[in-house]
Amino acid sequence: MTAATLQTRRLTLRQPQASDLPAYAAYCASERSHFVGGPFTEARTFDRFAAMIGHWAIRGFGRYVIVHEGRPIGHVGPLAVHEGEEVPELSWTLWDAESEGHGFATEAAQAVWTHLSKDLGWSEMLVRIQPENAASIRLAEKLGAERTEEPAPDHYHGCLTYRLTAKVPA
């Protein structure tokens, strides 16, 4: 069972809740969501956030909301949508531009991957990134993810696929 919350040096990672919806909606309405098919209408935003929450209830794990000084600033974590895909994905997103450039996404993604691989023994995860998303590609490489030749899935056309593999302790 994944931890309900994770604490890093500057961030709290916790399950999404109703009070996060306005901040998430601002992200979904902005150009920042274009890497995942946005901007989205209010209705689609509600449905997407509900599905993010439902993922936790169904799978027992899901994406955490990244909280910095009490403010929700993004989401990060594993997802495994039922599409015959056995290796879960790790994804991360910062919801607003002012949260960028502080290393928050790196700090959050590293904490989640460390928890999943060290505490829970997950051996591998996929990271799917659009080729023009340079910041995310840098982060994936920093985590130690390696580029694969795997084709993009139907739900995320045109993406590159990276693979994270847990280091087996010597």
Partner 1 sequence: MTAPVLETERLILRRPDDRDTDAAIAFLTGERSRSVGGPLSLGQAWRAHAKMVGHWTLRGFGLFAVTEKETGRTLGISGPYYPADWPEKELGWHIWDAASEGKGIAYEAALAARRWAYGDLGWPTAVSYIDPSNARSIALAERLGARLDTAAERPDDECVVYRHPGPEGLQ
Interface residues with partner 1 (CB under 8 A) are 16-18, 21, 41-43, 45-47, 49-55, 57-60, 81-84, 154-155
> What's the min distance (Å) between Cβ of 56 and partner 1?
8
> What's the min distance (Å) between Cβ of 156 and partner 1?
10
Q: Please state the φ and ψ torsions of residue 155, each to the nearest 5 degrees.
A: -80, -5
Q: Could you report how far apart the first and last alpha carbons of the chain are, in Å?
A: 25
> What's the min distance (Å) between Cβ of 147 and partner 1?
24
Angle at 91 between CA 90 and CA 93, to 5 degrees: 160
Give yes or no for a contact between 9 and 107, defined as CB atoms under 8 angstroms apart: yes
Residues 150, 115, 103, 52: is their CA dihedral positive or negative?
positive
Q: Which is nearer to partner 1, 144 or 153 (CB)?
A: 153
> What's the min distance (Å) between Cβ of 11 and partner 1?
22
Angle at 52 between CA 139 and CA 78, to 5 degrees: 40
Q: Which is nearer to partner 1, 82 or 167 (CB)?
A: 82
| Cα 24 to Cα 121: distance, rounded to the nearest angstrom | 30
Question: Helix or strand or coil: residue 1?
Answer: coil
> What's the min distance (Å) between Cβ of 93 and partner 1?
17
Q: Which is nearer to partner 1, 24 or 104 (CB)?
A: 24
